[in-house]
Amino acid sequence: MSNGAMFRTCPDTGLKFHRPAESLMKANAVAAVVFLLVGGFFGLLVGLTRWPEVHLLEAESFYLVLTGHGINVLIFWIIFFEMAVLQFCSSTLLGCRLATPQLAWTAWGLMVAGALINNYAVLWLGNSSVMMTSYAPMPADPLFYLGLILFAVGALINCFIFLATLVIARSERTYQGSIPLVTFGALTAAIIAIFTIASGAIILIPTFLWSVGIVSNIDAGVYRLIWWAFGHSSQQINVSAHVAVWYAIAAIVFGAKPLSEKVSRVAFLMYIAVLQIASAHHLLVDPGLSSEWKIFNTSYAMYLAVMASMVHGLTVPGSIEAAQRARGLNSGLFEWLRKAPWGNPVFSGMFLSLVGFGVLGGITGVVMGAEQINLVMHNTLYVPGHFHGTVVVGTTLAFMALTYWLVPILFRRELILPKLASWQPYIFGLGMAGVALFLMGAGTLGVPRRHWDILFSGAADGGYEFSAAALTMMSLNGMSVVLACLGGALFILIVVGSLLFGRRLDEGAKVGREMIAATPADSAYKGIGVGAITIPGTLAMVFVFFAAFVLYYFINWKYLAETWGIS
């Protein structure tokens, strides 16, 4: 195949798309959206059952639906999309061919087969309602584990293809100096994914063998330890990937360049080194593990990863502010933010993701990671509240934002319903922020996480009476779920509708609006800001964030102090 036939140059961005890689990106992105649809629908059913006045499903179907919801959105949607991100950040951003496209198709096939087999076991056979954690010795059908293993093997192959593509780009000299920061972020995600998937294999393969009767026993403590190296680290892949997406969108929409490449790369390095071990916060009440192990893996090492996230939380909006000021929006503290393109879903989705991830997911993650105050909300609805802040408001919203840019650039289709698209991130973001907040509120008041009926209404003693505040939180959560699902449905409608019915863009045709902003000249950055401070608006937001962080942290210590009264 000639070079011209192997590559397509995007007329809007100048990016070189390796055609086999482009097809793979499309296949992974489409698979991701399909599983988002399935998992999102189950999320609606879960939310309507958690709503006390509705309580839609019976116990048996609730656990089945909850299992399908967790695995389809937390694993299949996100990891399929991340595979597309890895291929884009390696092949496209480095302008080189993707390593072994045929093997990448095999990997995609394994992932699709694994996801379908797992769903078959959960939804059709109906004997695998073990929820996402699938704690042994609670048994699921062998196909449940087999599906997850096949999916993991496919994803692992893709991670090594990503590394091989970096080697090709370096040997063929398609870039100068270091790889771009966005690709570096994707590399971080790939490395965490390799650790994550290897951990999954270490525990799921013996569990599969146990389910078919070859292995006699799976130790529950060891299962929980290694499963969480898979289960929580899989969410750390998301963090690295969506931070890379933030940097990419800052460059795409504003032509922003990082405040300091070195600082951002070192922050990613801290993710590589210590982000995965935060998995330990799920085991803070497990009796078999010592306080030394728990405290090192959470309250010491995890804080380095938190610091890395705070660095990104400063540098991403800071780079946007600097670029906006360099374009002349230099008045006061927030002109750069006020005049940002809030009607562009690529930007609004990314910015809501950034704020939601930091405030809702980040602060609460630190609270959960402290051994003492973790006891206030361990295994309550606070936990799903927290991860809806990180994974849904943070990751999913960032991926949605990028998708709005990818539809014309990668799929060569004009977006349909642009007005609706400009509203979608707000509807979804508001709904999901409500879900995160109200679940955490209910969790703080003690509402349990894993039981179908929080009121235990069938119990012989008449059940348990939660406070009116807790029940109100659960009702508000139900309403927020409906709003978020509306936002999710709009996303699917706009994206799938655009792929099917959007105006087709010829290979050489431009979209007709700016798809990538030019980087302001270095001279334009001189004299920006207020006095000697170049990004005063971002620093003001950071101080508000820190104040909220400190206040919330100590409020939880106060809650803990009130747990046992001193007489």
Partner 1 sequence: MADKNEQIDESNMPAMQRVLDNPFILLFIGILIPTLAYIVWGIMELISIPIAD
Binding residues for partner 1, rule: CB under 8 A, are: 163, 166, 178-179, 184, 187-188, 191-192, 194-195, 198-199, 219, 221-222, 225-226, 229, 233, 265-266, 269, 272-274, 276-277, 279-280, 283, 288-290, 293, 296-297, 301
- Of the candidates 121, 122, 125, the one whose C-alpha atom is nearest the C-alpha of residue 64 is 122
Kindly report the backbone phi and psi dihedral angles of residue 380, in degrees, each rounded to the nearest multiple of 5, phi listed first: -100, 180
Identify which of residues 90 and 128 has a Cβ nearer to partner 1 in the complex: 90
State the nearest-atom distance from the C-beta of 205 to partner 1, in Å.
Answer: 15
* 179 CB-near residues (< 8 Å, 6+ apart): 94, 166, 169, 187
- Of the candidates 280, 153, 142, 149, the one whose C-alpha atom is nearest the C-alpha of residue 203 is 149
State the nearest-atom distance from the C-beta of 177 to partner 1, in Å.
Answer: 8
Rounded CA separation 30/148 (Å): 19
Burial class (CB in 10 A: 0-12, 13-18, 19+), 401: buried
Identify which of residues 216 and 290 has a Cβ nearer to partner 1 in the complex: 290
Q: Return the amino acid letter for 465.
A: E
Burial class (CB in 10 A: 0-12, 13-18, 19+), 457: exposed
Burial class (CB in 10 A: 0-12, 13-18, 19+), 142: middle
Exposure of 315 in the CB half-sphere (CA atoms within 13 A): 25
State the nearest-atom distance from the C-beta of 220 to partner 1, in Å.
Answer: 10
Identify which of residues 265 and 503 has a Cβ nearer to partner 1 in the complex: 265
Identify which of residues 270 and 381 has a Cβ nearer to partner 1 in the complex: 270
State the nearest-atom distance from the C-beta of 195 to partner 1, in Å.
Answer: 5
State the nearest-atom distance from the C-beta of 238 to partner 1, in Å.
Answer: 16
State the nearest-atom distance from the C-beta of 154 to partner 1, in Å.
Answer: 19
Give me the count of residues in the chain: 567
Angle at 285 between CA 192 and CA 239, to 5 degrees: 25
H helix count then E strand count, the chain: 22, 2
State the nearest-atom distance from the C-beta of 306 to partner 1, in Å.
Answer: 16
Identify which of residues 85 and 283 has a Cβ nearer to partner 1 in the complex: 283
Rounded CA separation 458/462 (Å): 7
State the nearest-atom distance from the C-beta of 276 to partner 1, in Å.
Answer: 4
Identify which of residues 121 and 226 has a Cβ nearer to partner 1 in the complex: 226
Identify which of residues 294 and 413 has a Cβ nearer to partner 1 in the complex: 294
Burial class (CB in 10 A: 0-12, 13-18, 19+), 214: exposed
Identify which of residues 276 and 348 has a Cβ nearer to partner 1 in the complex: 276
